[in-house]
Chain A
Amino acid sequence: MAQSGFDRRRVNGPNESLQPVYDDGIKESNVLYKAWKPGEARRKRQAKDIRPICARHTATPPTPFVTQTVLKTGFIKQANGSAYIETEHTKVACAVYGPRQSKSSSYHEIGRLSVEVKFTPFSSLVRRVPIRDAEDRSVANLIQQALTSSVRLDLLPKSVIDIFVTVIECDGIESCIAAATVAASTSLAKAGIEMLGLVISCSGAVVGDDVWLDPNEEETQLASGILLCACMPALGVMTNVWQTGCLPLAKAFQSLQLCQERCIDIHQIAAQALHED
């Protein structure tokens, strides 16, 4: 959208620019569900299906992003741990640096987990002006909440673990947060940081009577409520639950249950990716 303000530290465009408007009146974000009516089934996949994480694409040139398994660890050479995850159009890269010395002078008995999230300007349909906004922080906060209880921070006094997440493409913010959480936890494991278990996250959107897992952008807009759940399947405990929208209690519990079941599958993929390295 419009470029707000002039930033000396970047190459600047015009003061104001707008997204193109199309003559057919359809937003680019509304192609799959153009003629969808409430009560109809989910398009393209089953309600309980998530988008493939571990698919192998073949007919593309050799790049680490597409030819190998799409949850790939250790691709950022200088980072202590890193992971890249791709679920169709959602693409997230994550790097872990540390544990390193905390910059703040005050003494901390336990280590600190710092999460920074950055969206690339081209990651969503509307261009994101490259200025840190509130969304980056709230996403970072959710990832931090999901991870904190899984890491043995008590073993790392005075230190800080930096987790940097770059969202290359985002198709549905809740499933993007879930993917980033999985990538971050896998990176932490790759970095050799002591943890109680891998944190796996999954989101579910309540559309009518159904719960659609791992919703994309369009499905998010149809949903009456969305639930994001992070858990450690190895221990059977939940680390973070976040719900938006209006949901009957029974639906909320049902989605929680479904998310958790799916997390077990994702856990296997993450463990496999770490094992193959």
Chain B
Amino acid sequence: MALQTQTGTSTDLNAQIFQRLHPRAYLERFIKEDIRPDGREATEWRDLSVHVGSISTANGSALVRLGDTTVICGVKAEIAEPDLERPKEGFLVPNIDLPALCGPRFKPGPPSEEAQVLSDRLASTITAAGVLPLSALCIHPERAVWVLYVDATCINYDGNVFDAALIAMVAALKNTTLPTATFNEETGRTMCSRKLRKPLPLECLPVSYTFGVFDGTTVLADPAAFEEPLLDTSISIVLDEGGALLSAGQLGIADKDTMSMCVSAAKERLETYGREIYAFLE
């Protein structure tokens, strides 16, 4: 998986066995040589590609690949009555699924704890960043609003699904068009027109940058599936397209400097690459 350069030789077999038996020592030896098992440097990111609108049954969709990590996201729009306390606000319901297909440690059945935590983090990030004002989903106050089900599915798990899923969800929302809907007060029904479709008024396009801290000192950008379980700390920095810090999260311990270092690394990455992510979706 990791050593693609020496396939088929006996040394490769030994390296693979060593990697499985002593993953920590395996990674340590790579880090000592300032390289990671997949050939990247510590601060290097994997290639990102975003492809939108390939699913015709969804109102909007996006396929995101971050290295080998693949997340596909579809938005389905339905109509519901609004919450009594918020009569002019629609609903945005983001969820991610990590099916058994995407990696050997995932089981079929209801969402695992990992998927639940991920869904919750994605939902709170999207809400906190104010990606879409919920008032824009109002059709008729107190009677009808849009519900946007933003469902992401991980097809291939190779680490850092949070970053990939956030980009997939935002790109899918950006790709979403809603038919114009009118609420008829006499009949109490909402009718949509197929001819007029309009895009969602997104106010913020967040991008997340995740870093892992290995061995208390080495900061690894965009951790892969093999590195993830060996990390002491995982730090996610969410920036908007202007570089403003929307949220920062740290799981595990780290020096007080590590966080600020990650923020500046994230900003650097945004400057060099981040702005292009959603730009081509215009």
Please determine whether A17 and B158 come into contact, CB atoms closer than 8 angstroms: no
Residues from chain A with a CB closer than 8 A to the CB of B179 are 20, 22
A13–B76 alpha-carbon span in the complex (Å): 12
Any B CB within 8 A of the CB of A23: yes
B130 to chain A, nearest CB (A): 17
Any A CB within 8 A of the CB of B225: yes
Q: Which stretch (B186-194, B203-211, B267-275) binds chain A?
A: B186-194
Residues from chain A with a CB closer than 8 A to the CB of B51 are 60-61, 63, 65-66
Q: Which stretch (B53-61, B214-222, B243-251, B253-261) binds chain A?
A: B53-61
Any A CB within 8 A of the CB of B153: yes
CB contact list, A55-89 vs B, under 8 A:
60-66, 75-79, 89
Q: Can you list, as one digit per residue, whether each of B74-100 has a CB less than 8 Å from chain A (1) or not (0)?
A: 111111111100000001011101011
Q: How many A-B residue pairs have CB under 8 A?
A: 164
Q: Can you list, as one digit per residue, whether each of B88-120 has a CB less than 8 Å from chain A (1) or not (0)?
A: 000101110101111110001111000010011
Beyond A66-B54, A76-B102, A164-B100, whether A20 also contacts B78 by CB under 8 A is yes
Please determine whether A77 and B68 come into contact, CB atoms closer than 8 angstroms: yes
Please determine whether A122 and B147 come into contact, CB atoms closer than 8 angstroms: no
A164–B101 alpha-carbon span in the complex (Å): 5
Q: Can you list, as one digit per residue, whether each of A9-47 has a CB less than 8 Å from chain B (1) or not (0)?
A: 111111011111111101000000000000000000000
Q: Please, how many residues of chain B have a CB less than 8 angstroms from a CB on the other chain?
A: 61
Residue from A26, A66, A116, A120 within 8 A of B151 (CB atoms):
A120
Please determine whether B192 and A20 come into contact, CB atoms closer than 8 angstroms: yes
Residue from B63, B78, B109, B119 within 8 A of A127 (CB atoms):
B78
Any B CB within 8 A of the CB of A130: yes
Please determine whether B55 and A91 come into contact, CB atoms closer than 8 angstroms: yes
Residue from A11, A22, A23 within 8 A of B95 (CB atoms):
A11
Any A CB within 8 A of the CB of B123: yes
Please determine whether B119 and A17 come into contact, CB atoms closer than 8 angstroms: no
Beyond A14-B147, A60-B51, A122-B57, whether A20 also contacts B77 by CB under 8 A is yes
* 23 A–B pairs (Cβ distance < 8 Å), ordered by A: A10-B116, A13-B147, A13-B149, A17-B91, A19-B78, A19-B79, A22-B179, A22-B192, A61-B49, A61-B50, A63-B65, A64-B65, A66-B51, A78-B102, A118-B97, A121-B149, A122-B55, A122-B61, A122-B75, A122-B151, A164-B99, A165-B101, A168-B155
Given contacts A20-B181, A121-B74, 12 further A-B contacts (CB under 8 A): A9-B110, A11-B120, A17-B80, A18-B78, A20-B78, A20-B192, A61-B50, A76-B155, A77-B158, A78-B103, A164-B100, A169-B56
Closest 10 CB pairs of A and B: A122-B74, A17-B80, A17-B78, A164-B101, A13-B93, A122-B58, A121-B151, A14-B80, A127-B76, A95-B101
B contacts, CB < 8 Å to A:
1, 49-51, 54-58, 61, 63, 65, 68, 70, 72, 74-83, 91, 93-95, 97, 99-104, 108-111, 116, 119-120, 123, 147, 149, 151, 153, 155-158, 179, 181, 189-194, 225
